A and B are shown apart, each in its own frame.
Chain A
């Protein structure tokens, strides 16, 4: 039970959050043959693209409506139409996901209305699905933009049905913004091992997993096929990973009567048990496959080994709400203590359940102050945390987005039994690597007098 505080400050020092449009772009990148399009000035797009490239070490298709001063004031409907036209000409994408930015939102355009008109008029655009999400930079963080994009996708592409035509073997996996491609792989593996077929949305494990393909394309290669998205209506169930995916799951239920369950975390023994229990019920498999049982047994063993290094450890953690929740609950369930928690967005009901006293809506400056005040022993946040790590002489475990000073960020897996195990090992090993050699002063004893020390002679010739 934590209270959310928002420090009264005008200055933000070392931003923790990445912007909402960037989150939307990332979600759109989880669709096959897609191009995300920022409705805004080209600079915002360039920054976001660099940010994404630095994290994934991949070329990332991301385009802009290139609003200038004049079009900003007159309204950007023409720019949108032209952008769609040009993108289709250049890369023939099956999907274009538009995200608004602070610039266009400040002006306040009716983009959904404009877009509807454009798509009605331009029949030639019919074979490209175009979706729009309103994601002003000044509201919320990466996770919110991601959620809004997913909501826009399901609202537009999942059909309304009046009668259920269920495929009992298919479940929809709504993947939250905190999941890496590696995480998604692990969850699909788990689902498949129960004989179920996951329909993952959005599926960055296909597009941003880091692979060498045989062709070069201006759109994503891999991800959820556009044609499959409507099939979410036929799924037996929706598994929403991350609280921020609740609304999208709700939309699917409203439109297609697919029941859902939200898993606020799938990191740590109990949260994964809950997911497995659900999968058992959905598949009717009372006795899960041996690989699953074995992974659980190994997580149990890992917890036994790790708890010596997690118990009582004071942790400072900065992340978007969903990631903050799943990692902090996993750590506190292992006896660690969250002495500083900083997050990026107020739009989450999770704060009531965070395992700490206070969550600060702030930046890395706040995390630094919290870490100092709480005498934290380890920092968990994204790569920019390296500044804090240097300043406070604390180890940094890189979590979230962006991670630009490590390669393979897309492979890091911290969900499911296997990912939880890896997470515990990683954490425990970082703690073990922190050598503190005891000195007399640690215990209040006087140091050994220096006069006892041997002073080397200068050799005489």
Chain B
């Protein structure tokens, strides 16, 4: 690994703004947050994946992946970040390195040519060049290629140096943030500035979530100046240093960006969430408070309170409509981070019973909050093996599973309603209106009449009580040529005299089920 990359990784692992990190010893910190992976029992994306997730929502940039086919070929256009502008970000660009490129060491040259071709074809505001394992292994210097290309073509070419094998998705998120800090943020100046300019960091506008919140900001006159990277234009990343406050949404994935924006450019930041009613309100309050601190007119606070009061009243009125349909339903929550606590509170408010929630990636602080909301810690669990979850769901310990995509099929195969609360979900559930959509989704899932039909026994799972006598066969079997016997056949032996014998399935001589269907003779 190049030394520069090593330093970067060491740097992002040393995150003073991260609570978990600060509590570690010097030595632990050096090791980083990554646990060693177990062969045969690993799941999850690589650093490159993580970098791409963070940056791909920048919609007008050409995202060029320097790799053999696997990295981009199996992964392009697989996420639902929505754009209100260019569609370029959805196009997969890759150098598709061949054996020849690798053996002959043509990687860098090919990359340079690919950059030229993409600039000629697309004229993008910038080209983001992603490193991956193979070019990193053979020593391609993408930083140098990007520098040369920027100089030659006059279009910024930004190296995103997060080859997969250096670590997890999470590390990739941070390295992507570093690339923005090093090469993009602060490189352009906005034409106008207002005291109501904010950055949103760590939201990807999946299914348009940001747009569920934007009307609230619009009403308050707050402008999203910088974004990393929900529905972002390249310029919006370059302008981030000029915002008055950074809201870091939900996760700590880009905490390094938020912190360094403060250190380098004096932009204060706070951590907030737009999931759930109370969190949305809290985030708006905090945002306005800091804006006023930074020089915005203090009347903003009053407008903010008025807006929150209106919106909360309106959303609760709408949610009440669902109460009858969801009250008493038992929910099992299986999500990663801590973003769902506020949602949990709302569900409980509506009479739903949260029977369990995973605390897989949660910090101690998060756990304390679950305990507070749920009353005790009986309902927290760490990882659940798919097998156990299947059992739990199958035995109807819950009425609905809310989780990410990975456990989707565990639920469905157990004939259990499932609501997607993952990042990849197709419906946005952010802000106040998002809660209504979420409740609608839960209602739709849980109360679908299909479940009852699906859970009912198959025809052969109930002992046959009625007997039938088939008429004699006529004609002959097309394959064997055997003609009908001319005698009526009784398929089922007469019923046993008493009802008690019904419990044991009746053995029918001559008919066995087979795993393979055989429909032709």
Contact = CB atoms under 8 A, between A and B. Distances in A.
A84 B40 contact: yes
A15 to B, nearest CB: 4
A101 B40 contact: no
A15 B45 contact: no
Given A19-B69, A64-B39, A103-B134, A289 B76 contact: no
B226 interface: no
A171 to B, nearest CB: 15
A21 B68 CA distance: 12
Contacts of B414: 216
Interface stretch (B90-98, B228-236, B355-363): B90-98
B93 A13 contact: yes
A42 B44 contact: yes
Interface in A43-77: 43-48, 50-51, 53-54, 57-59, 63-69, 72
B460 interface: no
Contacts of B98: 138-139
Interface in B380-424: 386-387, 390-391, 405-406, 408-410, 412-415
A107 B114 contact: no
Contacts of A44: 46, 70-71, 74, 164
Which of A18, A68, A218 has the most B CB atoms < 10 Å from its CB? A68
Which of A21, A69, A85, A404 has the most B CB atoms < 10 Å from its CB? A69
B78 interface: yes
B455 to A, nearest CB: 11
A48 B45 CA distance: 10
Contacts of B69: 15, 17, 19, 137-138, 141
A158 B44 CA distance: 35
A59 B410 contact: yes
B77 A384 contact: yes
A111 to B, nearest CB: 14
B138 interface: yes
A289 B520 CA distance: 9
Interface in B66-88: 67-78
Given A44-B46, A64-B39, A15 B520 contact: no
B111 interface: yes
A67 B165 contact: yes
Which of B70, B90, B101 has the most A CB atoms < 10 Å from its CB? B70
A57 B518 CA distance: 26
Contact of B137 (A45, A59, A107): A107
Interface string A139-151: 1010000000000
A47 B479 CA distance: 48
Nearest to B407: A59
B133 A41 contact: yes
B293 interface: no
Interface in B24-42: 36-42
A454 interface: no
B95 A12 contact: yes
B307 interface: no
B70 A42 contact: no
Nearest to A8: B113
B43 interface: yes
Given A15-B94, A18-B73, A63 B165 contact: no
B40 A82 contact: yes
Contacts of A63: 40-42
A43 B46 contact: yes
Interface residues of A, number: 73
B22 to A, nearest CB: 26
B137 A106 contact: yes
B218 to A, nearest CB: 29
Contact of B114 (A10, A59, A65): A10
A106 B102 contact: yes
B118 A218 contact: no
B403 to A, nearest CB: 13
Contacts of A72: 133, 137, 165
Contacts of A22: 70, 74
Contacts of B138: 106
A63 B77 CA distance: 23
B74 A216 contact: no
B103 to A, nearest CB: 9
B479 A195 contact: yes
B297 to A, nearest CB: 45
A86 B68 contact: no
Contact of A15 (B39, B76, B164): B76
A136 interface: yes
A197 to B, nearest CB: 10
Given A138-B102, A193-B520, A212-B413, A80 B164 contact: no
Interface string B157-182: 00000001110000000000000000
Nearest to A82: B39
A133 to B, nearest CB: 15
A278 B68 CA distance: 41
A18 B95 contact: no
Given A10-B111, A68-B165, A138-B69, A213 B413 contact: yes
A237 B41 CA distance: 40
Given A11-B117, A86-B40, A51 B91 contact: no
Contacts of B518: 192
Contacts of A106: 102, 134, 137-138
Contacts of A90: 40-41
Interface string B96-116: 111101100000001111101
A86 to B, nearest CB: 4
Contacts of B43: 42, 46
Nearest to A63: B40
Contacts of A291: 478, 520
B39 A137 contact: no
B220 to A, nearest CB: 36
Interface in A372-401: 384, 387
B41 A86 contact: yes
A51 B74 contact: yes
Given A15-B73, A41-B46, A10 B117 contact: yes
A216 B102 contact: no
A87 B114 contact: no
Minimum-distance CB pairs A-B, first 7: A43-B46, A83-B40, A86-B40, A10-B113, A216-B390, A83-B39, A66-B37
Given A14-B76, A290-B478, 6 more contacts: A10-B112, A13-B121, A43-B133, A46-B46, A79-B39, A384-B77
18 contacts: A10-B116, A13-B91, A14-B76, A14-B91, A15-B76, A15-B92, A45-B42, A46-B43, A48-B74, A63-B40, A65-B40, A90-B41, A137-B68, A138-B68, A189-B519, A193-B479, A195-B479, A216-B414
Interface of B: 1, 36-49, 64, 67-78, 90-99, 101-102, 110-114, 116-118, 121, 133-134, 137-138, 164-166, 386-387, 390-391, 405-406, 408-410, 412-415, 478-479, 515, 518-521
Interface of A: 9-15, 17-19, 21-22, 37, 41-48, 50-51, 53-54, 57-59, 63-69, 72, 79-80, 82-87, 90, 101-103, 106-107, 136-139, 141, 189, 192-193, 195, 212-213, 215-218, 222, 289-291, 363, 384, 387, 404
